[in-house]
Structure 1
């Protein structure tokens, strides 16, 4: 089974990260939420792949979020899932922007699929409402 997911990511220190074709971006320390979809044959196993990359158990980067997750200061705190529904763009646009245009949004008209907040509780509550 697949659907839409949002990874809640902790970045323990500021980082400047090369994000594939998007180039180099400064990421302040804090909390990030990346929203994606997983409708392929593996479904939500994509979330497991992201977790493995964040734990340095994988090296290959396929998606923009992989560059953030590949940084040593990044870790996946949790994932919020909506099974069987393609609400990726609706969820992403309901969250506060991280200001990186095009991040995770190369196949849609959204500005970005990456959100940012200083506070974990605030961001997680927004993610849960958006998936509501």
Structure 2
């Protein structure tokens, strides 16, 4: 029996960042993390897509989606919007670790993290 191997489209960068603006403080119940408080300000979320990056970004930017990932809960909160995106060729955790900012919500977006990032959402300040 042949072994099935999933390949990654190397033409697309595997890592993305969402630059997020939270207009006013908001508390959101984020899946199993429970209630999470987000102060007003700028945030950056680092994620990855093994394939079809355009569809992943379009999903994040859509106001209508099923809540699946931690970031979905934040992005559907009132007064929260994505104000920019960035793409990287380096691995998700490497980009996240090199990003300045404060990890306010332990475990946010990093439940499958193997690098010990603690959180893939960072608060950049007001």
Would you say same fold, with TM above 0.5?
A: yes
Q: Which runs of 4+ in 1 moved over 3 A?
A: none
For the Cα contact (< 8 Å) 1:9–1:75, is it kept in 2?
yes
Residues 1-132 of structure 1 aligned to structure 2 (within 5 Å): 1-40=12-51, 42-52=52-62, 56=63, 58-82=64-88, 85-95=89-99, 96-108=101-113, 109-119=116-126
Secondary structure class of the residue paired with 1:44: helix
Give the TM-score taking structure 1 as reference length. Answer: 0.79
Consecutive unaligned residues of structure 2, counting only runs of 5 or more, are: 1-11
Consecutive unaligned residues of structure 1, counting only runs of 5 or more, are: 120-132
The number of equivalent residue pairs is 112
More helix by share: 1
Give the number of the structure whose alpha-carbon radius of gyration is greater.
2
RMSD over aligned CA atoms reads 1.3
Give the TM-score taking structure 2 as reference length. Answer: 0.82
For the Cα contact (< 8 Å) 1:37–1:86, is it kept in 2?
no
